Amino acid sequence: MARALEVRTIREISPKQSWVELSIHEGRYHIVRRMLGSLELPVLRLIRTEFGPINIGELKEGRWRNLSETEVLNLFKALKL
């Protein structure tokens, strides 16, 4: 059973269309689509903005960047390593 940790509406485009931001604990395959689909809310587009303690920022799809020392330390803390 999956659940969202936090959900908020960012922008309402029309009565039947909105942008929402949600936080989940683990990113299983298509979990967001399945969660919203169970509420009969279709998902047209997903945008990942964070991955654990790492903020993706303006990084484009298919691109990468080196992590800062702080990000690496925060990642190890999040993984309890």
65 pLDDT band, cuts 50/70/90, is very high
pTM for the full predicted model: 0.67
Checking phi first, is residue 26 left (phi over 0); if not, alpha (psi -120 to 50) or beta? Answer: beta
Domain count, the chain: 1
Q: How far, in Å, CA of 48 to CA of 31, rounded?
A: 13
* C-alpha torsion sign, points 19, 41, 53, 51: negative
* Structural domain harbouring 27: 4-78
Residue 71 has pLDDT above 90, yes or no: yes
